[in-house]
Amino acid sequence: MSRVGKLPVVLPSGVSAAIANGAIQIKGAKGQLTLALTSDVDVKIESNVVLVSPVNDSKRSRSMWGTTRANINNMVKGVTDGFSRTLEVKGVGFKASVQGELLALSLGFSHEVRFAIPQGIEVKVDKQTIVTISGVNKQLVGQLASEVRALRKPEPYKGKGVRYAGEYVPMKEGKKK
């Protein structure tokens, strides 16, 4: 029995859900999201609650039960509050800026790195070193933050690079004299 899957997803006021063509669509104040449903789970909408249950007792069906419920819950949170990730750019001369639909990053390379911002994602830069990525889709926000961080991960000697806000980077001691 899935501890996550058996919990109902409560739809707050202003959020509506509909199932059509093997997909569930959630609409809210910040936008709308759609999730394709697998044949391994059964999703029902009763008044303001979404219930997910497995079709049979197979391993895949039980696995998809909790996963589907968690994805639907994230969609509901996304269309009501939204999601955001904050990145810090640390290093001498390292900075970030938004130029139209591009995120421009100076990360110590011989060239400026330009990163395309996907549709539905909003990127804000504060003080040239703090990048805030926000949107309704949790997966897209996390993926974009991860890809930007991967351009120059924080190194362990000086801590230069792109890191998540509040991320602990273990520092190493330099060479001994």
- For the chain, how big is the Rg over CA atoms in Å? 21
Q: Note whether 141 and 85 are within 8 A (CB).
A: yes
Summarised one tens digit per residue, pLDDT across range 88-119 is 998 888 899 898 888 898 888 898 889 888 88
With 0-12 / 13-18 / 19 or more C-beta atoms within 10 angstroms meaning exposed / middle / buried, residue 72 is buried
Q: DSSP assignment of 77-119, as one string? A: HHHHT-EEEEEEEESTT-EEEEETTEEEEE-SSSS-EEEEPPT
Q: Is the pLDDT of residue 2 over 80?
A: no
**How far apart (Å, rounded) are the C-alpha atoms in residues 148 and 121?**
13
Q: 3-state DSSP call for residue 101?
A: coil
Per the listing, tokens 């759609």 go with 34
Q: pLDDT per residue over 26-83, tens digit each? A: 998 888 889 898 888 888 888 889 888 888 888 888 888 888 889 999 999 999 988 9
How many angstroms separate the CA atoms of 164 and 49, rounded? Answer: 34
Asked whether the predicted pLDDT for residue 4 surpasses 80, the reply is no
Q: Is 93 left (phi over 0), alpha (psi -120 to 50) or beta?
A: left
